[in-house]
């Protein structure tokens, strides 16, 4: 999002979109403190929000220098409220998890915002969080989406670490479905 204030209108448009038929909209880079996350509940009357802030820790240390950072969340249609459970957020606020139970469909959804330095321990920590939650929901199919900040290429550290999760959870990479070439 690169700041909630810059993206609120676009997010509202996504919620209205008939073409996309959005039921779940995962967002990253909210740049809001925990007390400001409630603003996302006001984006659209048909959507609720669940997420976490990465700003609180930085704000508690004093004046913030440079641009704000982080935070992840998911907007979901209110009519799905009985089918969605909030599972949790990773301690670094780089991953949010929800479960969706609709009929025979059981889906565990993760929204991620990984660091640009994919060799950092944060990548492994987030992937560890995902694996530990997936173990608790072992009968659910998993969906991991968001900003991975690495190319799906064997020369990338983050990609190689992700491939072990990919194999453990029987995931399918969907980069080939990127019809807009966003990456």
pLDDT tens string 137-176: 999 999 999 988 888 888 888 888 899 898 889 888 777 7
Is residue 60 domain-resident?
yes
Q: What is the mean pLDDT of residues 72-88?
A: 93
- Whether 128 has a pLDDT exceeding 60, the answer reads yes
pLDDT value at position 67?
A: 60
| Neighbour tally for 17: CB within 10 Å | 11
Range of 51-55, 75-79, 136-140 with top mean pLDDT: 136-140
pLDDT value at position 176?
A: 73
Q: Greater confidence, 178 or 77?
A: 77
- Whether 182 has a pLDDT exceeding 60, the answer reads no
Is residue 178 domain-resident?
no
pLDDT value at position 66?
A: 61
Q: How many domains is the chain partitioned into structurally?
A: 1
Is residue 179 domain-resident?
no
- Whether 90 has a pLDDT exceeding 90, the answer reads yes
One-character DSSP codes across 89-128: E-TTS-EEEEEEEETTEEEEEEEEE--S-TTSHHHHHHHH
Cα distances (Å, whole numbers) of residue 102 to 13, 30, 65, 81, 119? 26, 28, 45, 11, 37
Which CATH number fits the domain that encloses residue 39?
3.60.10.10
One-character DSSP codes across 47-69: EEEEEE-SHHHHHHTSS--S---
Is residue 142 domain-resident?
yes
Is residue 181 domain-resident?
no
Q: What is the mean pLDDT of residues 23-43?
A: 86
- Whether 33 has a pLDDT exceeding 70, the answer reads yes
Is residue 166 domain-resident?
yes
Q: Greater confidence, 3 or 149?
A: 149
Is residue 114 domain-resident?
yes
High-pLDDT (> 70) share of the chain, %:
84
Is residue 182 domain-resident?
no
Name the residue range of residue 39's domain. Answer: 4-170
| Neighbour tally for 177: CB within 10 Å | 7
Indicate the pTM of the whole model: 0.86
pLDDT value at position 23?
A: 85
Measured distance CA(130)–CA(148) in Å, rounded: 13
- Whether 47 has a pLDDT exceeding 60, the answer reads yes
């Amino acid at each position: 999002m690169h700041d909630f204030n810059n993206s609120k209108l676009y997010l509202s448009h996504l919620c209205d979109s008939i073409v996309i038929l959005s039921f779940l909209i995962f967002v990253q880079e909210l740049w809001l403190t925990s007390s400001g996350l409630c603003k996302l509940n006001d984006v659209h009357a048909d959507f609720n929000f669940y997420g976490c802030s990465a700003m609180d820790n930085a704000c508690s240390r004093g004046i913030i220098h440079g641009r704000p950072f982080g935070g992840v969340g998911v907007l979901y249609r209110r009519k799905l409220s009985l089918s969605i459970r909030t599972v949790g957020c990773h301690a670094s606020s780089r991953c949010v998890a929800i479960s969706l139970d609709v009929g025979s469909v059981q889906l565990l959804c993760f929204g991620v915002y990984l660091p640009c330095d994919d060799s950092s321990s944060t990548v492994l920590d987030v992937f560890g969080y995902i694996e530990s939650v997936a173990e608790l929901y072992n009968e659910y199919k998993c969906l991991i989406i968001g900003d991975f900040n690495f190319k799906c290429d064997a020369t990338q550290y983050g990609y190689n670490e992700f491939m072990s999760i990919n194999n453990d959870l029987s995931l399918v990479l969907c980069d080939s479905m990127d019809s807009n070439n966003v990456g």
